[in-house]
Amino acid sequence: MSLSAHVIGLAAALGSGTLIGIERERRKGGGSGHALAGVHSFALVALSGALAQLIDFRLSLMAALLVASFCVISYYRASADEAGMVTELALFLSFLLGVNAVDYPALSAGLAVLVATMLNLRAPLHHFIRVTLKRGELRDGLILAGAALVIWPLLPDAANGWLLGVNPRRLWGLAVLLMTLQAGAHIALRLAGPRMGLALMGLASGFVSSVAATAAMGQRYRREPALLGACAVGALLSNVATYLLLVVVTLTIAPGQLLQLAPTLSCALLATVLVSAALMRTVAKPAAPAVRGGRVFSIRQALLFAVILSGATALMAYANAYLGTAAATLGALLVGLVDVHAATSSILSLLAYL
């Protein structure tokens, strides 16, 4: 490594330790019961880690043991009023960031910002976890994380004959998508209220799937009939995103067809916006629903909706395979019931080859 690379690594280590140390210094306290480590300790520990890594890898291991011993002493010396071992863990993490800064200074600097931010938001995070977050929301959040991060990657990404040619990963992905949209509607409902929360959620969800967004709004209405108007506005606004995406799809696949489609898309977009605005004005502002620990989403409804969408896609593929070009219109109709963007892409792709 060149001298400039060494200087950058040492500077990143020193800056990382100083940044975390500044946040810890504010919580250090005073008097005889103050914590051992402050801004100077954090900065020096991080810089020591970088220097030890530069000199010899074995020296960095010895330094890690020394810092760990210091953290243990600091933990047992802490007063009874200072619960937890956040400062000690942050000190050891500063040492590791200093070691890492020798080879990856940008990564260490970025992680230091994230660590300092997390430490600074300690009180709001505790309040959110203990008070704001309900037991049912935590349970459903863990279920959604497991469905998306554990089950979904393990499913085979290929058509399965036992499922009539449906791709298991795509089928499960649709279910995860709908559960995510339902969870997003739940969060928007709590943060922005029934009117604006569901409206903004519907508009944002339309960029993913207007069909799934409409289904999520319908399921929300079934759970809370008082939100009928707000759910209808959210479902309508999801189509605004659909029309905007259709313009992007057309420009990407067949830009020469945009002038022919522009009048239809413009009229549809304008009508949807006007109807949504009119409905938004007439909808009475419903009272905010009581915060409770109920279900954030319905797994059964999400799976049922995913099966219906995948079944429609399988029927469309069957029609195209056995009915030939005469099934193009029928196939576009079936796909349009599931995903307007996919149907448009297929038709525009055929036009591009004509």
pLDDT tens digits, 180-197? 866 776 676 666 666 677
Same domain, 82 and 114: yes
H-assigned helices in the chain: 3-26, 39-55, 57-77, 86-101, 105-120, 122-127, 135-146, 152-154, 168-192, 194-206, 210-223, 228-253, 258-282, 299-323, 328-338, 340-353
Please give the pLDDT value at position 26.
Answer: 79
Same domain, 112 and 156: no
pLDDT at 333 > cutoff 70: no
pLDDT at 29 > cutoff 60: no
Same domain, 171 and 104: no
Higher pLDDT, 266 or 179: 266
Average pLDDT, the chain: 76
Count of C-beta atoms within a 10 Å radius of residue 26: 12
- How far apart, in whole angstroms, are the C-alpha atoms of residue 29 and residue 6? 35
- How far apart, in whole angstroms, are the C-alpha atoms of residue 205 and residue 235? 9
Our count of domains for the chain comes to 2
11 pLDDT band (50/70/90 cuts)?
very high
pLDDT at 316 > cutoff 70: no
Q: What are phi and psi of 242, to 5 degrees?
A: -60, -45
Mean pLDDT of 44-59: 86
Please give the pLDDT value at position 290.
Answer: 44
Same domain, 33 and 147: no
Domain boundary, last residue among 98, 128, 158: 128
Q: Mind listing the pLDDT tens digit for each residue in 151-165?
A: 888 888 777 666 656
- How far apart, in whole angstroms, are the C-alpha atoms of residue 221 and residue 144? 21
292 pLDDT band (50/70/90 cuts)?
very low
In which domain, by residue range, is 275 found? 134-353
pLDDT at 257 > cutoff 90: no
Mean pLDDT of 287-316: 60
CA proximity to 223, closest of 331, 305, 297, 329: 297
Same domain, 226 and 303: yes
319 pLDDT band (50/70/90 cuts)?
low
Same domain, 143 and 245: yes
Please give the pLDDT value at position 112.
Answer: 93
Same domain, 123 and 177: no
Percent of residues, the chain, with pLDDT higher than 70: 66
Same domain, 47 and 193: no
Same domain, 251 and 235: yes
Three-state DSSP state, 36: coil
Q: Which two tokens stand for residue 139?
A: 């349970």
Same domain, 78 and 157: no
Domain boundary, last residue among 90, 109, 128: 128
Beta bridge partners of 166: 160
pLDDT at 104 > cutoff 80: yes
- How far apart, in whole angstroms, are the C-alpha atoms of residue 111 and residue 102? 14
Same domain, 158 and 252: yes
Higher pLDDT, 267 or 132: 267
Mean pLDDT of 305-309: 66
Domain boundary, last residue among 107, 128, 149: 128
Mean pLDDT of 139-147: 86
pLDDT at 264 > cutoff 70: yes
Please give the pLDDT value at position 211.
Answer: 75
Mean pLDDT of 311-337: 61
| Single-letter amino acid, residue 291 | V
pLDDT at 299 > cutoff 70: yes
| Single-letter amino acid, residue 214 | T
Please give the pLDDT value at position 12.
Answer: 92
| Single-letter amino acid, residue 81 | D
Same domain, 26 and 170: no
